[in-house]
Amino acid sequence: MLDVLQNLGDGFAVALSPGVLLYAFIGCLVGTLVGVLPGIGPLAGISLLLPATFGLDATRAVVMLAGIYYGAMYGGSTTSILMRIPGEAASVMTCIDGYAMARKGRAGPALTIAAIGSYIAGTASVVALMLLAPPLAGFALRFGPPEQFALLVLGLLVLAYMSVGSMLKSLAMATLGLLLGTIGIDHMSGYQRYGYGLHELGDGIGVVPLAVGLFGLGEILATAGRAKPPEVIHPRFRDLLPDRREMREAAAPVARGTILGFLVGIIPGSAHIIATFVSYAVEKKLSKKPEEFGKGAIAGVAGPESANNAATSGAFVPMLALGIPSGPVTAVLIAAMMVHGVQPGPLMMTQQPTLFWGFIASMYVGNLMLLILNLPLVGLFVQVLRIPYGYLFPAIVMFCILGVYAASGSIVDVWIMLIMGVLGYVLRKLDFETAPIVLGLILSPLIELAMRQSLSMSNGSYTIFLEKPIAATLLAAALVLLILGLLPLVRGVADWRARLAAADGDAESK
Amino acid sequence: MIRLLSALLGAALLAAPALAQDDYPSRPITMIIPFPPGGVADQTARAIITPLEKELKQPVAIRNTQGAGGAVGMGAAANAKPDGYTILLALSSVSIIPEADKLFGRKPAYTIDQLKPIALLGADPTVLVVRAESPWKTVKELEEAAKKEPGKIAYSSSGIYGTLHMAMAMFTNAAGINMKHVPFNGGGPAVTALLGGHVQALASGPGPVLAHIKAGKLRPLANWGTKRLAVLPDVPTFAELGYKNVEFYIWAGLFAPKDVPAPVMEKLRAAVKKAAAAPEFGSAMEKLGSPVAYLDAPEFEKFWAADAARLAEAVKRVGKVE
Amino acid sequence: MQPRLPLRLTADRVAGLALIAFGALAIVESRGLPVGSLREPGPAYFPIVLSLALIGFGALLLAFSGGGAGLRELGWEEARHALLIVLGAAAAIFLLPRAGYVITIALLLFYLLAVVARRHWLLSILVSVGLAAGTFALFDMGLRVLLPRSPLGFF
C-alpha cells in the first residue's frame, strides 16, 4: 500500500509537470469538443489526432490521447440533453430523462449532474483500477463465450424492467430490436441475412443511425408542427446548478452507477452501453417515484452517465494489466502506445513505472480538469435553448444527417436514420417506448454469437452453460430475476384484467 | 465570333484533361480505408499520409468507409472515378471477399481486376500460437493430437472467411486434420479468447501476440512466411517443416481504380516509393510490430496474384459452413 | 358515446397487427437460409425464433388491449408538418452525394426555415448558408471528416 502511494506520488510529479499538464489539457479540450459534435465519438477523435502525437514523447502522447477518450465521454451527454440526439451509443439513456429535464427548464442541472457524476465515477474507478487491476484482469479473462452469453441474458432480462408504460409493449419493442439486430452477415456461417443486394447492410443496422433516427428525428417530427411549439426557455443563472433536492436524489445513483459501470467495463468484448441501460433500470426499480422516469427524473441522468464513465475507466483494466483491448477504443490506445514504444501489459508497471504511474495520476488530473472545463460550458450550452424552435429544429435535422454521415461515411446509414425517424414518430404516437429497440439491436448480434460459439465449443451440448461457474452463477441470478418479475404478474392477473376492462370502458366512452 | 468562341471552347475542353494530368495532383486526395478507425489498415494509413503529403504537396485525407468486412469501402474505391484522387488502402482480405461472394452466389461488390496495385507497404506472415500451458511444443505434436481427436482442438479467428480463418484453413488442409473453428468478431477478441483458454490455438499477425509470447503466456509453433521472422528467430516456417502451399501474409497495399491514366499512376508510384522510405513511416511501423515491406507495382502485382490464387483455393476448400 | 364495435381501430390494435405483419414478413424473407438445429443453430434460427416471438406479442396486444386511444383521437395536428420535414430530408439525402454537402444542406435548411417554419426569407438564406458553410468548415476542413463534395470539387 505504501509503495503504491509512493509510486502515485512520483506519478503526480510527472502528471503535474507543465509539459504533461498542457497536453492533458489539450486532450481534454479536444475530447470535449469531439464528444459534443454529433457523429464524432472517442474512436474517431483519437484516430484523427494519432498522427499529431508521433512527434511527442510517450508520456505526453498517451496522456493526451487518454484525455480525448474520457473527454469525449463527458461531452457525449450534451447533445443528448439539449437536442435529444445521442452523440454516441453510450448516451442513449441520457436522452430520455436528460431531454425531459431540459424541456422543463432544468437543462443546467442535468448537464451539471452529468459532469459531476462523470467526475466521481471517473475518479473512483481510477482508484479501483490502481489497486485492483491485476486480480480483476485475471477475472476478466475468464469471460469466454458461455460467460458472455449468461451476462447478456441477464442484461436482456433487465429490458423487461425498463418499461415506463406497459411491459408487454416494452417486450415487443425489445424483440423488434433483437430482430433488426439479426440483419447483416452471420458471423458463424457467412450468410448474408436480409441484404437485398445492399453491401452496406453487411454489418447490419448501425446503432448511431437507429438511435439518432428514433430519438433525434422522431422527436422533431412529433413536435415541430404542434400548434403550440415547445416554449423558448430562458435559463436563469441560479437554474444552472442542481438544487439541494436534486443533489440528494442523484447521490446514490452515481454511486451505484459507478460500481456497475466499472464491473461491466472490465469485461472484454461486452458492450459498455449495457451498463447505462442496467443502471437506468436499477434506479427506476429503486426509486420512490418511478413514475417520474421518462419525465425528467434526475436519477435517470445521474446513474447512466456515471456508469458510462466508470465503464470507460474499467476498460483500462485489461488494457493496462494484460495488454488486451476490451473494445475498439482501447485497441487504438494500445496501438498509440506501441507507436511510442510502450507495450501495455504485465511488464509495463515494472519496466516503465514513470509512464504507468504518470498515466494513472494524469487520469485523476484529467477528470478534475474535465469537471472544471465542463461546468462553465454548461452556462454556454444551455443558451441553445434560447433559440426559437423555428430556428432550432432545422438545425437539429441538419445535425441528425451530418452526425450519422460523419460517423460512418455511408449514405445508406443516413437513409436508415430517416426511416427510423419515421418509425420513432409513429411509435411515439402509438405510445411505445423506443429505448428497448436500441438495446435489442445492440445485444442481438452479441448474444447470438456468444450462444452459437458456446455450442460450437461444446459440440452442441447446452450443459456448457452450467459447467462454467461464472456462467452458471449469472444464469441463476437471471432465473431469480425472472421469477421475481413474474410473481406479481401471476398474482395480479385478476386485478390486471379488471383494470384493463375499466380502462377500456373509459377509452370507449370518450 | 461564334466560331472563334466554339473553337476556344473546344480547345479548352481538349486541354482540360491533359492539363489536369500534368499538374496532378492539383487538389486533395482521398484515401479510402474500408475498416473502422484503429485497425491495422487505419494505423498504416495514418502513418503513411504524413510523408505522402510531403511528396504529393497536397493533403491526403482518410475516409473510413466501413461495412461488410471491408466490401463496402473496397467496392467504393473500385468504382470511384479513375482520376487518381481516390486511392484505397486494403489488406489481404481484398482477394477473399469476391471469392466468398461467389461462394454464396451474391452480387459481388467489386472484382479484383477492377483494382490496380500501386505498392505493397507491409506484409507480416501469420504466426501459429498456442497457450504456454498446452502440451504441444511443435507443429507435429499439435497435428498428431488433432488427428487423434478430430474436431476437438478449437481455434479462434477474426471472423468467418476472414484472414486469420483462411490462414488456419491452409494449414489444416495441408496437414489433413480437422480442427474446430470458433469465429470471433475481430482479431482482438480472438487473441483474448486464446489467452483466456476458451480456444487452444490461433493464427495471428505477430504484432498482437508478440508481447504475450515474450511474457511467457503464449507459445509460437510456426510462421506462414517464406523465411523466419527477425523478432522470432527460433520459430520455423511451415515451408521448412515440409508443408506445401501453407503461405500467408497479412499485408497492406495501396490500390487505385484500374483506369487511372498512366502518367498519374507513375506520379503516385513515385510518391509512395519515397514516402515508404521515409524514416518516420519506418519507425512507426516498426513499433507497431509490422516492419515495412515495400514492393513497387510490378513486383506487388506478382505477389498479389500468387496470394489471391492461394486464398481462392482456401475459400473453395472451406466451402459453405452448414 | 359510440357503439362498441369489436374491430374498432385503436392504437394498440394497429400496432399489434403491424407487429404480426412484420414478424410474418421476416419469416418469409428468411427462406433460403439454413435453419440448423437446436444443437447447431443456423443463420435463420434466431431470426425465426424472434419473428415468432414478435408475432406472439402482436397477438397478445391485439387480444388484451381493447384500451388505448382510437387512431383518430390521437391528434394528428403535426402530421402535415412531419410529412413536409420527412420529404425535405429525403430529398436532401438523395441530393447529398450528388450536389455535395454545402449546397444540399443550405437548400434543406432554407426549405425548413422559409417554407416549413415560415421565417423571413432573407434571414432564412443567411442562416442556411452560414450554418451549412460553418459546419462544413468545422467538420471537413477542421477535423478532416470528409463530407460529400459538389461536382465542382471545392466544397
With H, G, I as helix, E, B as strand and everything else as coil, classify residue B181: strand
Which residue, chain included where needed, has cell 479467428?
B157
- pLDDT winner (highest mean) among A374-378, A383-387, B202-206: B202-206
pLDDT digits (tens, 9 = 90+) for A442-464: 889 889 989 999 998 988 889 99
Question: What was the pLDDT predicted at B11?
Answer: 45
Three cell numbers, residue B85: 484522387
Best C25, C29, C50, C73 member to test A by mutation, with max A CBs in 10 Å, is C50
Q: What is the 3-state secondary structure (H, E, C) of C70-81?
A: ECHHHCCCCHHH
pLDDT digits (tens, 9 = 90+) for C6-57: 556 778 888 899 999 999 999 999 888 888 888 888 889 999 999 999 999 9
Question: What was the pLDDT predicted at C58?
Answer: 92
Q: Which residues of A touch C77 (CB under 8 A)?
A: 225-227
Neighbours of chain C (3+ CB pairs under 8 A): A, B
Q: How many helices (DSSP H) and strands (DSSP E) are in chain A?
A: 23, 2
Q: Which residues of A touch C58 (CB under 8 A)?
A: 172
Chain C nearest-CA distance from B168, in A, is 22
pLDDT digits (tens, 9 = 90+) for B153-168: 999 998 888 888 999 9
CB distance C144–A175 less than 8 Å? no
Which residues lie closer than 8 Å to B175 by C-beta, 6 or more apart?
B143, B146, B243
| Superfamily for the B127-223 domain | Periplasmic binding protein-like II (3.40.190.10)
Q: Are A181 and A444 spatial neighbours (Cβ–Cβ below 8 Å)?
A: yes
Q: Which residues of C touch A390 (CB under 8 A)?
A: 113, 117-119
Question: What was the pLDDT predicted at C93?
Answer: 96
Q: Is B185 on the interface with A (CB under 8 A)?
A: yes
Three cell numbers, residue B63: 475516409
Size of interface A-C (CB pairs under 8 A): 197
With H, G, I as helix, E, B as strand and everything else as coil, classify residue A148: helix
CA distances from A458 to A489, B179, B180, B199 (A): 36, 13, 10, 11
CB distance A223–C78 less than 8 Å? yes
CA pseudo-torsion sign A267, A32, C148, A220: positive
Alpha carbons A420 and A410: distance in angstroms, whole number: 16
Considering only residues A454 and A50, tell me which one the structure prediction assigns the higher pLDDT: A454
Question: What was the pLDDT predicted at B17?
Answer: 44
- pLDDT winner (highest mean) among A199-203, A330-334, A391-395, B205-209: A391-395
Query: CATH number of the domain at B28-123+250-318, out of 3.40.190.10, 3.10.20.600, 3.40.190.150, 1.10.287.610?
Result: 3.40.190.150
**Residue B9 pLDDT grade (very low, low, confident, very high; cuts 50, 70, 90):** very low
C-alpha C42, offset from chain centre: 31
Q: Is the per-residue pLDDT at B18 higher than 50?
A: no
Chain A nearest-CA distance from C153, in A, is 17
Name the residue facing A191 among C15, C43, C81 (closest C-beta): C43
Question: What was the pLDDT predicted at A489?
Answer: 61
What is the per-residue DSSP string for B254-291? EEEETT--HHHHHHHHHHHHHHHH-HHHHHHHHHTT--
Which residues lie closer than 8 Å to C54 by C-beta, 6 or more apart?
A172, A175, A176, A179, C19, C20, C22, C23, C26
Question: What was the pLDDT predicted at C8?
Answer: 67
What is the per-residue DSSP string for A280-325? HHHHHHH-S-GGGTTS--THHHHHHHHHHHHHHHHTHHHHHHH---
pLDDT digits (tens, 9 = 90+) for B165-195: 999 999 999 999 999 999 888 778 888 899 9
With the CA atoms of A12, A14, A18 and A21 taken in that order, what torsion angle do they form, in degrees rounded to the nearest 10?
-70
Q: Is the per-residue pLDDT at A502 higher than 70?
A: no
Give me the interface pTM, i.e. the ipTM.
0.92
Question: What was the pLDDT predicted at A203?
Answer: 79
Alpha carbons A134 and A138: distance in angstroms, whole number: 7
Side-chain half-sphere of A206: how many Cα atoms within 13 Å? 28
Q: Are A405 and B65 spatial neighbours (Cβ–Cβ below 8 Å)?
A: no
Mean local confidence (pLDDT), A255-281: 85
Q: Which residues of C touch A508 (CB under 8 A)?
A: 2, 4, 8, 66
Q: Which residues of C touch A224 (CB under 8 A)?
A: 78, 81-82, 85, 116-117
Q: Are A111 and A370 spatial neighbours (Cβ–Cβ below 8 Å)?
A: no
Query: For A167-181, A282-296, C141-155, which range has the lowest pLDDT when averaged over its residues?
Result: C141-155
Q: Is B188 on the interface with A (CB under 8 A)?
A: yes
Q: Which residues of C touch A406 (CB under 8 A)?
A: 139, 145, 147
Alpha carbons A344 and B110: distance in angstroms, whole number: 39
CB distance C144–B27 less than 8 Å? no
Query: For A115-129, A319-333, A444-458, which range has the lowest pLDDT when averaged over its residues?
Result: A319-333
Neighbours of A295 (CB within 10 A): 15
Alpha carbons A399 and A378: distance in angstroms, whole number: 20
* Strand-strand pairing, B154-157 and B180-183: parallel
Count the residues in chain A.
Answer: 510
Q: Is B182 on the interface with A (CB under 8 A)?
A: yes
Q: Which residues of B touch C36 (CB under 8 A)?
A: 322
Three cell numbers, residue A374: 465542463
Name the residue facing B215 among A341, A346, A453 (closest C-beta): A346
Q: What is the mean pLDDT of chain C?
A: 86
Chain B nearest-CA distance from C43, in A, is 9
Question: What was the pLDDT predicted at A459?
Answer: 86
Q: Where are the alpha helices (DSSP H) in A340-410?
A: 348-351, 353-381, 389-408
Question: What was the pLDDT predicted at C25?
Answer: 93
Three cell numbers, residue A326: 476490451
Alpha carbons C42 and C155: distance in angstroms, whole number: 47
Alpha carbons B140 and A19: distance in angstroms, whole number: 54
CB distance C108–A460 less than 8 Å? no
Size of interface A-B (CB pairs under 8 A): 155
Residue B295, amino acid:
L
Residue C46, amino acid:
F
**Nearest one of A505, A94, A454, A465 to A300, comparing CA atoms:** A94
Name the residue facing A338 among B38, B287, B321 (closest C-beta): B287
Residue B296's Cβ-count burial label (10 Å; 0-12, 13-18, 19+) is middle
Interface residues of chain B, partner chain C, Cβ below 8 Å: 27, 30, 61-63, 322
Neighbours of B55 (CB within 10 A): 17
**Closest residue in chain A to residue C71, using alpha carbons only:** A430
Alpha carbons C155 and C135: distance in angstroms, whole number: 12
Q: Are C153 and B27 spatial neighbours (Cβ–Cβ below 8 Å)?
A: yes
Q: Which residues of B touch A456 (CB under 8 A)?
A: 154, 180-182
Mean local confidence (pLDDT), C57-63: 88
Paired residues of B60 in beta bridges = B29
Three cell numbers, residue A154: 441477464
The domain spans of chain B are 28-123+250-318, 127-223
Considering only residues A467 and A132, tell me which one the structure prediction assigns the higher pLDDT: A467
Q: Which helix (H) or strand (E) covers residue A344, if one does?
A: none
* Strand-strand pairing, A192-193 and B292-296: unpaired
CA distances from C3 to A505, B39, C7, C8, C9 (A): 12, 65, 11, 10, 13
Q: Are B47 and B284 spatial neighbours (Cβ–Cβ below 8 Å)?
A: yes
Q: Is C144 on the interface with B (CB under 8 A)?
A: yes
Chain C nearest-CA distance from B27, in A, is 9
Q: What are phi and psi of A388, to 5 degrees?
A: -60, 145
What is the per-residue DSSP string for C40-76? SB-TTHHHHHHHHHHHHHHHHHHHH---S-BTGGG--
pLDDT digits (tens, 9 = 90+) for A57-98: 888 888 888 888 888 888 888 888 988 888 777 788 899 899
CB distance C34–B322 less than 8 Å? yes
Query: For A100-109, B9-18, B125-134, which range has the lowest pLDDT when averaged over its residues?
Result: B9-18
Which residues lie closer than 8 Å to A138 by C-beta, 6 or more apart?
none
Q: Is the per-residue pLDDT at A232 higher than 50?
A: yes
**Residue C101 pLDDT grade (very low, low, confident, very high; cuts 50, 70, 90):** very high
Q: What is the mean pLDDT of chain A?
A: 83
CB distance C153–B27 less than 8 Å? yes
Neighbours of chain B (3+ CB pairs under 8 A): A, C
pLDDT digits (tens, 9 = 90+) for A336-363: 787 777 778 777 777 788 888 888 888 8
**Closest residue in chain A to residue B61, using alpha carbons only:** A48
Alpha carbons B97 and B34: distance in angstroms, whole number: 12
Q: Which residues of A touch C48 (CB under 8 A)?
A: none
Count the residues in chain C.
Answer: 155
CA pseudo-torsion sign A220, A393, C96, B70: negative
Q: Is C34 on the interface with B (CB under 8 A)?
A: yes
Neighbours of chain A (3+ CB pairs under 8 A): B, C
What is the per-residue DSSP string for A189-210? T-PEES-TT-GGGGG-S-HHHH
Which residues lie closer than 8 Å to B55 by C-beta, 6 or more apart?
B270, B271, B272, B274, B275
Question: What was the pLDDT predicted at C7?
Answer: 58
Best A182, A451, A496, A506 member to test C by mutation, with max C CBs in 10 Å, is A182
Query: For A82-96, A393-407, B61-75, which range has the lowest pLDDT when averaged over its residues?
Result: B61-75
Alpha carbons A474 and A148: distance in angstroms, whole number: 10
Name the residue facing C54 among A40, A175, A444 (closest C-beta): A175
Q: Is the per-residue pLDDT at A392 higher than 70?
A: yes
The domain spans of chain C are 11-74, 79-142
CB distance C60–A168 less than 8 Å? yes
Q: Are A85 and A400 spatial neighbours (Cβ–Cβ below 8 Å)?
A: yes
Considering only residues A162 and A56, tell me which one the structure prediction assigns the higher pLDDT: A56
CB distance A187–B185 less than 8 Å? yes
Q: Where are the alpha helices (DSSP H) in chain B?
A: 2-22, 40-56, 71-78, 93-103, 139-148, 163-175, 187-195, 206-214, 262-277, 279-287, 297-318
Which residues lie closer than 8 Å to B12 by C-beta, 6 or more apart?
none
Name the residue facing B191 among A185, A324, A329 (closest C-beta): A324
**Closest residue in chain C to residue B321, using alpha carbons only:** C42
CB distance A345–B154 less than 8 Å? no
Q: Are B34 and B66 spatial neighbours (Cβ–Cβ below 8 Å)?
A: yes
**Residue B209 pLDDT grade (very low, low, confident, very high; cuts 50, 70, 90):** confident
**Closest residue in chain A to residue C83, using alpha carbons only:** A221
C-alpha B227, offset from chain centre: 19
